[in-house]
Amino acid sequence: MSHLGELLSALVDGELSGAELDRANAHVAACGACRVEANALRRLKHELRALAEVNDSNDITRRLLAMGSLDGPPGLAGPGASVQARQLGRERGPRRRVRATGERSMGDPYSYSGLPSGRLPGRRRGRYVLWSTLTLVVVGVGTAFGMGGSSGSTGPQITPQLEVYDVQHAITSGDVPFDDPTDVPARVPVVAATP
């Protein structure tokens, strides 16, 4: 008895029709091995679809999946699924989905092409350059502003002794002194310069 082979995968993917579909279904109903394999493929397909749908909204994960879908390290859901699919002889489903989010060209396995995520590394590099430049400018200008201040000593801190100044002013101006300001004691004894 010959098994379905690649038709099994087509059956699971719903790609058969007409007499071919009837013949495949009849074979699966009669063949336990093909039924088991068909069930395994359906389960795998279901899991991969669910996984891809969950991660579709996560940009970083999507990109990681895209990187790992071809030659990424084992263990990740995407690459693992891809490898399993290849082992099964069919990689259209998962591979198609992976390609929909980001795919390396066959000529250069390290280059990205044709997709929005392919511009991200360049933009990120630009940001690094921009922020580094801005940081240098801010630090440089701040240092220059700080070093550009007055370097001379300002001397002691003084509150003008108005109680003394007022009396001196009164003596020279020939008028009575005003009582500035609040920190003057209630009575200020000041004796003017005597001849």
Token match 């390396």: residue?
104
What is the nearest approach in angstroms of other proteins to the Cβ of residue 141?
Answer: 7
Cβ atoms within 10 Å, residue 186: 5
Cβ atoms within 10 Å, residue 81: 24
Q: Choose among 116, 123, 109: nearest CA to 67.
A: 109
Q: Closest CB to other proteins among 89 and 140?
A: 140
Q: Closest CB to other proteins among 128 and 165?
A: 165
What is the nearest approach in angstroms of other proteins to the Cβ of residue 121?
Answer: 35
Instruction: Look at phi and psi of residue 114 and say left if phi exceeds 0, alpha if psi is from -120 to 50, else beta.
Output: left
Cβ atoms within 10 Å, residue 68: 19
What is the nearest approach in angstroms of other proteins to the Cβ of residue 137?
Answer: 12
Task: Check if the beta carbon of residue 41 is closer than 8 Å to that of residue 5.
Answer: no
What is the nearest approach in angstroms of other proteins to the Cβ of residue 76?
Answer: 50
Binding site for other proteins (CB under 8 A): 141, 143-150, 152-195
- Spatial separation of the C-alpha atoms in residues 94 and 53, rounded to whole Å: 12
Q: Closest CB to other proteins among 113 and 172?
A: 172
The encoded tokens of residue 122 equal 């360049």
What is the nearest approach in angstroms of other proteins to the Cβ of residue 183?
Answer: 6
Q: Closest CB to other proteins among 84 and 168?
A: 168
Q: Closest CB to other proteins among 30 and 190?
A: 190
